[in-house]
């Protein structure tokens, strides 16, 4: 089976680096990008995709990226199931990031050279610890949180 995702978008907010109880660096962020098609009103709709990066990739994002930074990610899709605090079951589809390419921030011009960091394939194991509080399950963003 093939499970590859390549996205280019802007961060919806400045991500926060966290560390698991076993000492692994992890960061979650949401990438926003315009869809290819236009709606009935002639405007392009936007998509918001949740991403999780581990180890070196997480540290790279924390060091070089902030709200509005344009990045490229390469990774795979993963469904994560969990139980909400109210006891109901939930699931989320997210991109588990293998590599991140810094394409610039909204304050930089497009002539900025890009930087890429990749984590070793062994960094992503099915038994990786995850924290339910790393990713918001409401998915709501205020208009002033949008990077464009």
What pLDDT, on a 0 to 100 scale, did the predictor assign at position 104? Answer: 67
- Report if residue 146 sits inside a domain: no
Mean pLDDT of the chain: 79
CATH number where 121 lies: 2.40.50.140
In a domain, 141, yes or no: no
- According to DSSP, the β-strands at 44-54 and 70-83 are unpaired
- Beta carbons of 5 and 75 less than 8 angstroms apart: yes
Residue 55 included in any domain: yes
Q: Averaged over 74-89, what is the pLDDT? A: 95
Let me know if residue 142 belongs to a domain. Answer: no
Global confidence as pTM: 0.69
pLDDT given for residue 37 in this prediction? 85
Q: How many domains does the chain have?
A: 1
More confident of the two residues 29 and 44: 29
pLDDT band at 9 (very low <50, low <70, confident <90, very high): very high
Structural domain boundaries enclosing 73:
5-35+44-136
Instruction: List C-alpha distances in Å: 84 to 10, 110, 131, 136, 138.
Output: 28, 42, 12, 11, 11
Residue 145 located in a structural domain: no
pLDDT of residue 36: 87
For residue 117, the surrounding DSSP H or E stretch is strand 115-118
> pLDDT higher for 142 or 86?
86
Instruction: Report yes or no on 20 lying in a domain.
Output: yes
Q: Within a 10 A sphere around the Cβ of 44, how many other Cβ atoms?
A: 13
What whole-number distance in Å separates Cα of residue 145 and Cα of residue 6? 23
């Amino acid at each position: 089976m093939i499970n590859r995702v390549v996205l280019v978008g802007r961060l919806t907010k400045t991500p926060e680096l966290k560390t698991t109880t076993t000492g692994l660096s992890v960061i979650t962020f949401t990438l926003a990008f315009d869809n290819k098609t236009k709606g009935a009103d002639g405007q392009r709709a936007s998509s918001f995709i949740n991403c999780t990066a581990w180890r070196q990739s997480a540290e790279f994002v924390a060091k070089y990226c902030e709200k509005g930074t344009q990045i490229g990610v390469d990774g795979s899709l993963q469904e994560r199931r969990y139980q909400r605090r109210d006891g109901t079951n939930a699931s989320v589809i997210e991109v588990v990031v293998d590599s991140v390419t810094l394409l610039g921030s909204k304050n930089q011009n497009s002539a900025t050279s890009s930087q890429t960091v990749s984590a070793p394939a062994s960094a992503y194991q099915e038994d990786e610890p995850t924290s339910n509080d790393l990713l918001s399950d409401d998915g709501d963003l205020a208009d002033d949180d949008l990077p464009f």
